[in-house]
């Protein structure tokens, strides 16, 4: 069964919050706000792209470090082998 008291109370709360939400929405008539929003969107897209580039570069660095460690280990093994052979 529907509780009309709660429904009415929630409706009143919603009506009080509508102006607050409306003030947060951009006014489509304001060209200055629209241009600022466009600039913000462009910068946000650029920032996202840069973060993606950084992530790719960090992955490349990790891979290169792994190769460097492997190469260093192989060098040490070769040096130890040469030392054992007396060269």
Contact, 26 vs 33, CB < 8 A? Answer: yes
Q: What is the pLDDT of residue 26?
A: 57
Q: What is the pLDDT of residue 22?
A: 62
Cα–chain-centroid distance for residue 67?
A: 28
Cα–chain-centroid distance for residue 23?
A: 28
Per-residue pLDDT of the chain (87 residues; tens, 9 = 90+): 567 676 667 777 777 766 666 666 655 557 888 888 999 999 999 999 999 999 999 999 999 999 999 999 999 999 999 999 876
pTM above 0.85, yes or no: no
CA atoms of 86 and 24, how far apart (whole Å)? 80
Q: What is the pLDDT of residue 47?
A: 95
CA atoms of 13 and 51, how far apart (whole Å)? 41
Q: What is the pLDDT of residue 13?
A: 72
């Amino acid at each position: 069964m529907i509780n009309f008291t709660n429904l009415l109370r929630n409706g009143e709360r919603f009506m009080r919050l509508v102006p607050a939400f409306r003030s947060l929405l951009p006014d489509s008539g304001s060209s200055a706000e629209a241009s600022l929003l466009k600039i913000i969107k462009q910068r946000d897209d650029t920032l996202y792209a840069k973060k993606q580039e950084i992530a790719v570069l960090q992955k490349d660095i990790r891979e290169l470090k792994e190769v460097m460690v492997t190469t260093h280990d192989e060098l040490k093994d070769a040096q130890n082998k040469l030392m054992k052979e007396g060269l």
